[in-house]
């Protein structure tokens, strides 16, 4: 596989502009180091980790790869100060922030020489991230798994809009799992892709095998963006979702929804494998997935397909 150079590969020091998304209950050191060793950028998802667990994952990741890797930090995490402190102490070089105001931490991280990327769901937020000093943005469309924007802007519309709105490089996310989809995003001006759902269905993801198997058996229409009152999230329509839906139909407010979610539903579903009662975050693109693969093979397949499509992009008669 011939390495490729653009602003994103240069920013992170990677061979291919393929980024494995930071994901709660899925992306620990095993997945992140496997993706980084394959020439992409692996990211540890700190959102489901206590500070000491995060520290352990950073150290294990560093022992498993000599290549760059990053940490995803959801900015609303209650112990965020401790996470940031560990990231700085451990000498992590790349941080992807999400779900919060990029102004709060970007300057502090940048002063420590850390490359900062922020995840956005609109041009307005992309502009704010650029103003806050971020080095790049991830533009995440409506199709994406996990927490998402309220405005429902699809990747197809969001990418060109964000590319137009900012000068910093844009990484496309939401609904991307193949090389052809990657090429489409890059034709629209993205300089890299971030894939979440594709990497949940990997051997190295720490998610429960029940969840991974549910993901590769998902059909079109099986996921939905819900809980907009609280914090919008795309998940599989299972028994837990039906409970949320019923509560919403009965006019449940934020507090009631919090109580429903409060019983560690995400952990129960994605990590402990209770696919009925747990919250199963995944993107629409899960409908295209039918195999759990090693992370290295995912990176290789996507890159090979991207290169093939690049040399022969459209069908002609
Ligand atoms: C299981 C799961 C957990 C996720 N957890 C996080 C998270 O902790 N922080 C975050 O910024 N995004 C999270 N996301 C969103 C991903 O980072 C990524 O942007 C998204 O999955 C891209 O869309 P795709 O699923 O269509 O590839 C999660 C996504 C999934 C599927």
Burial string for 86-100 (b: 16+ CB within 10 Å, else e) reads bbbeeebebbbbbbb
Q: 155-202: per-residue pLDDT in tens? A: 999 999 999 999 999 999 999 999 999 999 999 999 999 999 999 999
Confidence bin at 97 (pLDDT 50/70/90): very high
pLDDT digits (tens, 9 = 90+) for 18-74: 999 999 999 999 999 999 999 999 999 999 999 999 999 999 999 999 999 999 999
Ligand 1 centre and the CA of 292: distance in Å? 17
Cβ of 196 less than 6 Å from ligand 1: yes
The distance from CA 8 to its chain's CA centroid, rounded to whole angstroms, is 16
Q: What is the pLDDT of residue 256?
A: 87
Ramachandran class of 56: left when φ > 0, alpha when ψ lies in -120 to 50, beta otherwise: alpha
Pocket residue to mutate for ligand 1, from 73, 98, 196, 218, most atoms within 8 A of Cβ? 196
pLDDT of residue 317: 87
pLDDT classification of 125: cutoffs 50, 70, 90: very high
Q: If you ran DSSP here, which 8-state letter would residue 149 be given?
A: -
Picking from 263, 262, 173, 268, the residue whose alpha carbon sits closest to that of residue 211 is 268
Sign (positive or negative) of CA dihedral 268, 58, 13, 206: negative
Q: Please give the structure tokens belonging to residue 113.
A: 């020489």
pLDDT attached to residue 311: 94
Q: What pLDDT, on the 0 to 100 scale, is given for residue 310?
A: 96
pLDDT of residue 261: 81
Pocket probe for ligand 1: among 18, 19, 23, 281, the residue whose CB has the most ligand atoms within 8 Å is: 23
Atom of ligand 1 nearest to the CA of 173: 22
How many Å lie between the centroid of ligand 1 and the Cα of residue 152?
15
Q: What is the pLDDT of residues 211-261, one digit of tens each?
A: 999 999 999 999 999 998 888 999 999 999 999 999 989 988 888 888 888
Give the confidence band of 273 by pLDDT, cuts at 50, 70, 90: very high
Between CA 156 and CA 313 the distance in angstroms is 17
Average pLDDT, the chain: 96
Nearest atom, ligand 1, residue 175 CA:
26
**Pocket of ligand 1 contains residue 174 by CB under 6 Å:** yes
pTM value surpassing 0.85:
yes
Q: Which residue has the CA at smallest separation from atom 4 of ligand 1? A: 23
Nearest CA to ligand 1 atom 21: 196
Mutate to test the pocket of ligand 1, among 18, 19, 20, 21 (most ligand atoms within 8 A of CB): 21
The two structure tokens encoding residue 1: 């596989």
Band of the pLDDT at 1, cuts 50, 70, 90?
A: low
Q: How far is Cα of residue 220 from the mean position of the Cα atoms in its chain?
A: 20
d(CA 284, CA 262) in angstroms, rounded, equals 25
């Amino acid at each position: 596989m011939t390495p490729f150079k653009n602003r994103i590969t240069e920013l992170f020091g990677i061979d291919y502009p393929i980024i494995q998304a930071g994901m709660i209950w899925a992306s620990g050191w095993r997945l992140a180091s496997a993706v980084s060793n394959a020439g992409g950028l692996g990211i540890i998802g700190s959102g489901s980790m206590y500070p000491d667990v995060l520290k352990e994952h950073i150290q294990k990741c560093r022992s498993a790869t000599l290549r760059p890797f990053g940490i995803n930090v959801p900015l609303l995490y209650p112990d965020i100060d401790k996470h940031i402190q560990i990231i700085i102490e451990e000498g992590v070089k790349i941080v992807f922030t999400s779900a919060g105001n990029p102004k709060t931490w970007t300057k502090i991280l940048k002063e420590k020489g850390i490359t900062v990327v922020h995840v956005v769901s609109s041009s307005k937020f992309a502009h704010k991230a650029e103003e806050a000093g971020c080095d790049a943005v991830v533009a995440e469309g409506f199709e994406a798994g996990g927490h998402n924007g309220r405005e429902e802007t699809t990747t197809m519309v969001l990418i060109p809009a964000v590319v137009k709105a900012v000068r910093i490089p844009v990484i496309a996310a939401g609904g991307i799992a193949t090389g052809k989809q990657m090429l489409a995003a890059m034709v629209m001006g993205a300089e890299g892709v971030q894939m979440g759902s594709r990497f949940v269905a990997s051997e190295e993801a720490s998610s429960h095998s029940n969840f991974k198997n549910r993901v590769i058996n998902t059909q079109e229409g099986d996921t939905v963006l819900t809980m907009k009152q609280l914090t919008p999230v795309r998940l599989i329509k299972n028994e837990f979702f039906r409970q949320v839906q019923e509560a919403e139909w009965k006019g449940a407010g934020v507090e009631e929804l919090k109580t429903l979610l409060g019983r560690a539903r995400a952990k129960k579903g994605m990590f402990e494998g209770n696919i009925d009662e747990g919250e199963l975050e995944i993107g629409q693109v899960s409908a295209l997935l039918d195999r759990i693969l090693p992370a290295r093979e995912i990176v290789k397949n996507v890159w090979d397909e991207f290169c093939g499509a690049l040399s022969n992009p459209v069908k002609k008669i």
